[in-house]
Structure 1
Amino acid sequence: MLASHRFGVELRRLREQHGLSLDGLARQLSYSKGYLSKVESGQRRASQELARRCDALLGAEGRLQQLAARPAPAPRPDPARTTPPAPGPHPHDGHPYAAGAAGYTAEHPGRRESLPFAALPAPSGYPGLPALPAAELLGALLPQRPTALDPGVPALLREQLVQYRALGQQLDPVLLVPALQMQSETAVRIALRCDGRTRAELLLIAAHFIEFGGWMAQEAGDRHTALAYTERAVELARAGGNRQLAGYALVRRALVTFYAGDAAATVALAAAAQDRRLRPRIRGLAALREAQGHALGGDRGRCLRALERAEVLLATAAADHDGGPTIGSSHIADPAAMTTGWCLFDLGHARRAAEILDREHARIPLRATRARVRYGLRRALAHAAAGEAEHACAVAAEQLGGLGDVPSATVTGDLRRLDRELRRFRANRAVREFQPVLLAAITGC
């Protein structure tokens, strides 16, 4: 029996078990009766979105989502490994978050080529700068041109990092990736003129610069550079005696697999980042990512338990914060609550998700344009999935004004998902009027 037929048979069995007519199911899910009839008969293949909502409505505990899943085209990554994959097409390039996410590569004339950290040339006009030594040697080398560094220099570099993070909320990520790479390299060169605790401190600052560069590369749609920069951050931090960023690198890789639609890999990577030797902040973020992976796979119980762990760990981390650079986003007031909203969406509980996302979005600072656009569009998605098409259009329209300043591969993916959601409401006048605007935002025209 074909997968589409198996799904249809199980959907009909569960619907009848719950005493629902096909018309009643269509009303509750905001899908057309004709479409659901074709899904039940196996003439149409169910989307993951439909499977999640049917799972939630009929209490199927993920069975329908599993029946609707397409086979993974590539083996999952080894959680113990943080080295980025070789360049090339990603196995999940058909996932909505991957669509249209070319970033700043040769596909976009005038944009900087994506190059691994070590392959970037010396700054123009400074041909005498020596190549940096391998990261594993940085901690042990004797100082080059030993100097008594002003103690205010590391503080100035940390302040610059804060400013770059603020710029990341306001500017195209393509503009920031090269600058962040250069700032990291500058901090390394200063570190090589110092020793002891000062060198270790500077290497950790360099690691934070390049880690944020990895996040900006991901926002630009360049997964390979994002992972390469994250790995470089791990190497620099390790050279300075800090092994915490290695755990966070797993969290970052789990985000990449999450956006690629790979639930199992997301859970595996996030679980590996919850070693008790890691700080509560990193373990809390890892638990959030694990919850997202479970939600993507339709496992409500494990998702909610991971969210509970994350809430406790992040509360502990907030109480013990040492004043250093924040790991992860600093613009979300309650990461556990925001992630709960998105997990509920992935589990098919769109209305509850919309309520939480509405509340948490209101707490994002106005200056954090990138975060407001990203989570604002997720609000719109949740409202559309809940059948509130007109409100979804209004919420999405509010976000599109800021999108031109802060283009984002993940946001483009959400726009495509929103377009698919709204197609179910083509007869709605507000939807028909908004669709050309939405298409222009997706295509950048």
Structure 2
Amino acid sequence: MVSAPPILFGAKLRELRLAAGLSLNDLAALVHYSKGYLSKIETGQKQPTDDIARRCDAALGTSGDLVTLLPGKPQHGPAGETSVDGEGWTMTLVPGGASWFQPMDRRQALASGTASMLTFGISAGNTQTASTVPIDVFRAMFDHFRRLGQSMSPAVVLPALVTHTHTLRELARNARPGERGEVLTLCARYAEYAGWMAQESGNDHAALWWTDRAVEMAEAGGDREMATYAVVRRALVAFYRGDAHDTIELAKQAQNPNSSHRIRGLAAQREAQGHALAGDYDQCMRGLDRARALLAAATNESTLPPLGPTNVADPVAMTEGWSLHDLGRPHEAASILDREMDRIPGHAVRSRARYGVRQALAHAASGEVEHACVLTARILDLVDAADSVTVNTDLQRLARTLARFHTSSAVKAIQPRLVTSLHRPST
């Protein structure tokens, strides 16, 4: 994306507004920003934001023309770069209960006196000590971990996930020949979920490292689906970085015709979200239609724990609501999110927090400030429990949107509680 000075963005906005026959007052009413603010954008006195660009594109029907003029976002390196010198990952625990992970090659470990590391090479095993692995037990435990991941901080769930991943990997070494592949495939699911918890805790590098380990173990177990799903996960990291181009390109790569309907459906959803970031409504809707058809055909494809979200009744509809907000269509987004929020089970705290913040954000962006504050009050306890960096990113957007209505009594009332959640220390 080519950077453009604010004066060029403003001139283009004015040109498009006049071509549409709208006054500044007219446009202000459509996008729920003040006339004075829009005037400063047009004259180059204010830097345009993603939000104002998308809303103006939607109001003027300009299919992302203004989004393309936004200054380029800083790059943090390709989403796939996760290599370290060696395959080690150290876990640190401190008396207060906190934990964290960091990559460390073997030379570093020796130099620092580290006694042991979690390493994830795959060996052929030892058939002389082959034993039966209680796969059903570990499968049931994985379901429990997923449920825990919905209601507890990732900092609490992640160490246990890592331990069980390591245990399964060790058990696979000595499993009976007919079981080894099944054990490694389940182990890969544990590793992939560890990656998701790492991302929720704010460590993208760790998230991708664990995803790569999941691919290695799945392939050793004869399952190549994880390699394709890993690309979908990298697209998600790009999406949360606000990188529309990488989100779209990675999602397209994952739509391999040899992959399962579910993987291709999840990839199509991610591509649609990338197009929403880019302000392309038509491409976004086409991607969602593709995702809907593919996921409908994915029923009973596998007996393994399913990859991707499992607590949302209609993931495509929820993604559509999310995307419509990013496309500057908050009224449409709010209508869908209102309906879909009622279908999320009560135990799915993380999902309710994630989409509840989006729901409140859509209503706030629609100018329904008092209702947005009511919704915000309902979900802040859930946000605190989820302790998610990705959810907090949207909570910050919600706080900025509500701050534009700082004279509202409802905003004044919710502000102290909102600030507490925003600045709550991680577990």
Work out whether the TM-score is over 0.5. yes
One-letter code aligned to 1:385: A
Aligned to 2:88: none
Matches within 5 A, 1:109-258: 111-116=98-103, 134-135=121-122, 138=123, 140-143=124-127, 145-147=129-131, 149=132, 153-258=134-239
Q: Is the 8 A contact 1:117 1:181 kept in 2?
A: no
1:403 aligned to 364, 367, 383, which one? 383
| Separation (CA, whole Å) in 2 of partners of 1:132 and 1:62 | 46
Aligned to 1:24: 26
Aligned to 2:313: 333
CA drift of 1:75 comes to 7.8
1:291 aligned to 264, 269, 272, which one? 272
- Classify 1:443/1:15 alpha carbon distance in 2 versus 1 (closer, same or farther; 3 Å): same
One-letter code aligned to 1:156: V
Q: Is the 8 A contact 1:116 1:229 kept in 2?
A: no
Aligned to 1:270: 251
- Classify 1:20/1:107 alpha carbon distance in 2 versus 1 (closer, same or farther; 3 Å): farther
| Separation (CA, whole Å) in 1 of partners of 2:117 and 2:322 | 47
CA drift of 1:77 comes to 2.7
CA drift of 1:421 comes to 0.6
Q: Is 1:389 aligned to 2:369, yes or no?
A: yes
| Separation (CA, whole Å) in 2 of partners of 1:257 and 1:16 | 35
Q: Is the 8 A contact 1:83 1:231 kept in 2?
A: no
| Separation (CA, whole Å) in 2 of partners of 1:165 and 1:2 | 44
One-letter code aligned to 1:344: L
CA drift of 1:55 comes to 0.1
One-letter code aligned to 2:141: Q
Aligned to 1:33: 35
CA drift of 1:3 comes to 2.0
| Separation (CA, whole Å) in 2 of partners of 1:259 and 1:273 | 18
Q: Is 1:311 aligned to 2:316, yes or no?
A: no
Aligned to 1:361: 341
Q: Is 1:74 aligned to 2:75, yes or no?
A: yes
| Separation (CA, whole Å) in 1 of partners of 2:187 and 2:37 | 54
Q: Is 1:420 aligned to 2:400, yes or no?
A: yes
| Separation (CA, whole Å) in 1 of partners of 2:81 and 2:411 | 44
| Separation (CA, whole Å) in 2 of partners of 1:216 and 1:117 | 20
| Separation (CA, whole Å) in 2 of partners of 1:164 and 1:281 | 22
One-letter code aligned to 1:70: P
CA drift of 1:111 comes to 2.2
Q: Is 1:281 aligned to 2:262, yes or no?
A: yes
2:82 aligned to 64, 70, 84, which one? 84
- Classify 1:157/1:3 alpha carbon distance in 2 versus 1 (closer, same or farther; 3 Å): same
One-letter code aligned to 1:351: H
Aligned to 1:99: none
Secondary structure at 2:99's aligned position in 1? coil
CA drift of 1:113 comes to 2.5
| Separation (CA, whole Å) in 2 of partners of 1:308 and 1:217 | 31
- Classify 1:17/1:132 alpha carbon distance in 2 versus 1 (closer, same or farther; 3 Å): closer
How well do the aligned residues superpose, as a CA RMSD in angstroms?
2.6
One-letter code aligned to 2:200: E
- Classify 1:317/1:60 alpha carbon distance in 2 versus 1 (closer, same or farther; 3 Å): same
2:409 aligned to 429, 440, 445, which one? 429
- Classify 1:76/1:310 alpha carbon distance in 2 versus 1 (closer, same or farther; 3 Å): farther
- Classify 1:215/1:141 alpha carbon distance in 2 versus 1 (closer, same or farther; 3 Å): same
| Separation (CA, whole Å) in 2 of partners of 1:349 and 1:112 | 41
Q: Is the 8 A contact 2:84 2:105 kept in 1?
A: no
Instruction: Tell which deviates more after alignment, 428-437 or 339-348.
Output: 428-437
Q: Is the 8 A contact 1:105 1:113 kept in 2?
A: yes
- Classify 1:356/1:39 alpha carbon distance in 2 versus 1 (closer, same or farther; 3 Å): same
One-letter code aligned to 2:121: A
Secondary structure at 1:46's aligned position in 2? coil
- Classify 1:418/1:75 alpha carbon distance in 2 versus 1 (closer, same or farther; 3 Å): closer
Secondary structure at 1:317's aligned position in 2? coil
One-letter code aligned to 1:260: R
CA drift of 1:133 comes to 6.5
CA drift of 1:130 comes to 11
- Classify 1:443/1:131 alpha carbon distance in 2 versus 1 (closer, same or farther; 3 Å): closer
Secondary structure at 1:325's aligned position in 2? coil
Q: Is the 8 A contact 2:125 2:175 kept in 1?
A: no
Identity score, percent: 44
- Classify 1:162/1:360 alpha carbon distance in 2 versus 1 (closer, same or farther; 3 Å): same
- Classify 1:352/1:131 alpha carbon distance in 2 versus 1 (closer, same or farther; 3 Å): closer
| Separation (CA, whole Å) in 2 of partners of 1:206 and 1:361 | 32
One-letter code aligned to 2:157: L
CA drift of 1:36 comes to 0.8
| Separation (CA, whole Å) in 2 of partners of 1:436 and 1:105 | 34
Instruction: Tell which deviates more after alignment, 14-23 or 157-166.
Output: 14-23
Q: Is the 8 A contact 1:144 1:192 kept in 2?
A: no
Aligned to 1:342: 322
Q: Is 1:64 aligned to 2:66, yes or no?
A: yes
- Classify 1:439/1:351 alpha carbon distance in 2 versus 1 (closer, same or farther; 3 Å): same
| Separation (CA, whole Å) in 2 of partners of 1:262 and 1:325 | 29
CA drift of 1:403 comes to 2.3
**Consecutive unaligned residues in structure 1, runs of 5 or more:** 88-103, 122-126
Q: Is the 8 A contact 1:53 1:349 kept in 2?
A: yes
**Which structure has more RCO (C-alpha within 8 Å, separation ≥ 6)?**
1
Q: Normalising to structure 2: TM-score of the pair?
A: 0.91
One-letter code aligned to 1:84: T
One-letter code aligned to 2:208: L
